[in-house]
Amino acid sequence: MANKMFLVLLFCFFFTFYLDLIFAKEAVKGVRPFIIVYDNGTIVRDDAIRTDPVVPPQSTPDPITGVISKDIVLDPYTNLSARVYLPSLNHTSKKLPILLYFHGGAFCIGSPFSRLDHKYLNRLTSSGKVVSISINYRLFPEHTLPTAFEDAWFALQWVASQSQRLAWTEPWIATHGDFSRVYLGGDSSGATIVHNLAIRASLDPLLYDLHIYGAVLVTPFFLGSGRVPLDPPNYTQTPYYRVWPYVCPHCPHGVDNPVVNPVGPRSPTLRRLAVEKILVYTAEHDPLLGRGVRYITGIRGSGWKGILAYYEGKNVSHVFHVSIPDHPETQVLITRVGQFLRA
Ligand SMILES: *[C@@H]1O[C@H](CO)[C@@H](O)[C@H](O)[C@H]1NC(C)=O
Ligand SMILES: *[C@@H]1O[C@H](CO)[C@@H](O)[C@H](O)[C@H]1NC(C)=O
Ligand SMILES: *[C@@H]1O[C@H](CO)[C@@H](O)[C@H](O)[C@H]1NC(C)=O
Ligand SMILES: *[C@@H]1O[C@H](CO)[C@@H](O)[C@H](O)[C@H]1NC(C)=O
Ligand SMILES: *[C@@H]1O[C@H](CO)[C@@H](O)[C@H](O)[C@H]1NC(C)=O
């Protein structure tokens, strides 16, 4: 009897061992749709990004919006690049506001050169009548934070330098851009970047003349420990929450680090936001809706002196305006953001 039991146990042991061998290679702790974490420690970007292919810029006017675009390198040392957009000018020499834009993707995925982001920027450039520059900031897993924030700060300084007509002048921005009306815009992690730029601009000097007039944050990627109203019950299981320790492994205080929790115990007062007007656009079914709303109430309660606009897309979720271009709520958003940029 004991012998039989021993054999059964032995069999079970080797069978499990065998299964482990077969599946070990596949064992993953994915933080989809952002990254895949293999048991052997290898981390790769999630393949989902491939469903949104890279598209070239358009040197002839886009048939729908009339916008033209081109790719440029901002910093040959880091290869920081960007796509610049110019709306149809109709022979006017009127200066246009400048939109410095940051795409989303939890600091892991996304690109200014992807089909969906390109489409969104075309529409926004046309609706807002702005010169846009969409930044290809560096991502995880090749880079961890604060690299993306440093690239963003470099990009802001670079735009400011365009007002001086130095050696690296980019004619679309230098000729058509109005440096007294610069907007920071971004969605998801791009909105996190926008917030951090607007805070940093109140502390660090810009090398050249530039006035950050407004900021547009769409479905912002903000986190924090503890619950806020509207957090879904599974908030800490969402990929946004789970991806944070990877993208910012050396962030003290984790999700309460001020770069991702703008209303946390260690965060600088939102009164510091160095812009005159802010538009926050949330989405009804976004798991991060509560965090966006908390940001808005935080700004309101901070004594910040500026104009705060707030909209919520109905029956839509995180970054709907990029991922579902044909959704009626996307058209509404583009119209509203366009109005905000033109005002
Ligand atoms: C870890 O596993 C992945 C997936 O099987 C494989 O592609 C990668 O080469 C492995 N890395 C190491 C260091 O073994
Ligand atoms: C520089 O960036 C461009 C566009 O993102 C990319 O195609 C190219 O491979 C990069 N070059 C290097 C040396 O990293
Ligand atoms: C140029 O004219 C077209 C058609 O009237 C209009 O849609 C577009 O917004 C104009 N562009 C600018 C920059 O004013
Ligand atoms: C969280 O809950 C919502 C609603 O029940 C569900 O749609 C979503 O898939 C859940 N997310 C995770 C990461 O479990
Ligand atoms: C909300 O959107 C879903 C598709 O995402 C659709 O099936 C549903 O009918 C919509 N609900 C309302 C009330 O519009």
With bands split at pLDDT 50, 70 and 90, how would you rate the model's confidence at 134? very high
- The pLDDT assigned to 19 comes to 42
- Better-scored residue on pLDDT, 47 or 148: 148
Residues with CB under 6 A from ligand 1: 25, 38, 40, 42
Whether 3 has a pLDDT exceeding 80, the answer reads no
Q: CB 312: neighbour CB atoms within 10 A?
A: 16
With bands split at pLDDT 50, 70 and 90, how would you rate the model's confidence at 240? very high
35, 42, 43, 47, best to mutate for ligand 1 pocket (most atoms within 8 Å of CB):
42
Nearest to 99 by CA among 114, 113, 86, 115: 86
| Residues written for the chain | 343
Ligand 2: centre distance to CA 132 (Å): 21
The helix, strand and coil proportions of the chain, stated in percent and rounded to the nearest 5, come to 40, 20, 40
- Distance CA(334)–CA(331), nearest Å, equals 5
pTM for this prediction: 0.90
29, 31, 234, 235, best to mutate for ligand 4 pocket (most atoms within 8 Å of CB):
234
CB of 338 shorter than 6 A to ligand 3: no
Beta bridge partners of 177: 96
- State pLDDT tens for residues 314-330: 999 999 999 999 999 99
- Distance CA(235)–CA(251), nearest Å, equals 20
Q: What is the mean pLDDT of residues 24-50?
A: 77
- State pLDDT tens for residues 280-298: 999 999 999 999 999 999 9
- Distance CA(13)–CA(325), nearest Å, equals 53
Q: What is the mean pLDDT of residues 52-78?
A: 96
- State pLDDT tens for residues 74-128: 999 999 999 999 999 987 779 999 999 999 999 999 999 999 999 999 999 999 9
| Closest ligand 1 atom to 25 CA | 5
Q: Whose CA is nearest to atom 9 of ligand 2?
A: 79
- The pLDDT assigned to 4 comes to 60
Q: What is the mean pLDDT of residues 293-307?
A: 97
Whether 7 has a pLDDT exceeding 70, the answer reads no
Ligand 2: centre distance to CA 79 (Å): 6
With bands split at pLDDT 50, 70 and 90, how would you rate the model's confidence at 200? very high
DSSP letters spanning 124-154: HHHHHT-EEEEEE---TTT--TTHHHHHHHH
State what percent of residues in the chain have pLDDT above 70. 90
Task: Measure CA 7 to chain center.
Answer: 57
Active site residue 321: no
- Distance CA(162)–CA(11), nearest Å, equals 72
- Better-scored residue on pLDDT, 2 or 298: 298
- The pLDDT assigned to 169 comes to 84
